[in-house]
Structure 1
């Protein structure tokens, strides 16, 4: 067999094996690696590179070595799921760099972090002053997670005593100019509704690169032709404005009439409309 053909066959075969090994080891292998996974990745890459380019090696040995380096990490992962001691040994623990607003210099030295390194990591987390940080920990994966001081944290609905309207994930109903039936069904919609919404925008589905529906049933689209401007959904603001106008008209009618019975009717309905507005306003804004 020619050498170049053998290289192609070995490369393809090991690529397939490596694909399934990585897939079975889980997504964690592709995101944040701990020490053991980092070593495993290097060794597996070296095995594949060696047995692809060195035709004097036995191809079966490459398969055996890959299987060993699959089952060892896989076994360690299973043990880590059941034992915290194994997790602490193979993955290490996080190291606190800032606690109660104070920098832990000894921990920085332990992890061989300089002050410049710490400041760089803080800037990566959008903090340019160490004094703004309440707590910071270096995770086993090497990522620094930061908790800002209370006065530097963004205000939430909970802080303001507000209860926001529930919102589900948006459904992608159009992709590359084609309607997607499963997301439409998940949103309790159909193609007739989609065609109607596109007609309102004066857009053909073939020109839609991406179309999404939010939890309120509003369709937003991005077109292949970026020169065309698409109007943003306005049904909810218009409905809210109509309700407020109706409430204002009821108040005006109540003030303009001299009939006490009619005045009481208008005032009662104005109050009911105000209550309805207060109940749905957070959903229509």
Structure 2
């Protein structure tokens, strides 16, 4: 009797766990599924009440992102989404590359060298992640207007360092600290300088950590909204700001906005799937010794 009660209790617990997992999955995935469905609807189906889950799909919204509309149900002027997509690629790749090139030496110094106020300096770097963006964007806007960096890719790449550089330094610092100091000492005995130790020993051993730092930094840059909203113009808008250009005083192009959202999410999704093994290794690096 007791064994039967215990078995029944375990069954109830398993059902509750699976039910909670299903609800969490539904809560997480449903917004993406809804946007996908919206991107495949015509304007009449999008605004129908009650919402339509069964409809004849169309790819007109996706084609409109590239070739535009030839009059009719949409406005004759349209956002230049291909330009926005290219801007996001240029800015995100440039910002991540710059943050990694400058962050690796800084992270190595914070991980291996001893100097006055090292911990305070590391905390100041991390504090840039806590400060509201408005504290930086207004001075940057005034400065960029004076020096000619407003509405430029270079200006946005430099501004994005406030997003990626502190994160890169702290992530790589933790990965470098997980590498045993004995390996570094052995390399020094063999005649390596600190740069040789970094390039020949530390970096090869830290590749999973560097990979996950690159991927997460790219995602942060790709999803950035506030800085490009204030520091970019129509020629340099990324996809995050470009997507809201489908809202005008005349109408809201819900279908094209949804299609732009799906297309904008694809690079991150494809990149994550391609290097997921590095993400797992990087996030768990040093957890088990």
The TM tier, using the shorter chain, reads under 0.3
TM-score using structure 2 length: 0.20
Q: Give 1 or 2: higher helix fraction.
A: 2
Pick 1 or 2: higher relative contact order, CA cutoff 8 A, min separation 6.
2
Write 1 or 2 for the structure with the bigger share of strand. Answer: 1
Structure showing greater Rg: 1
Per the normalisation by structure 1, the TM-score is: 0.20
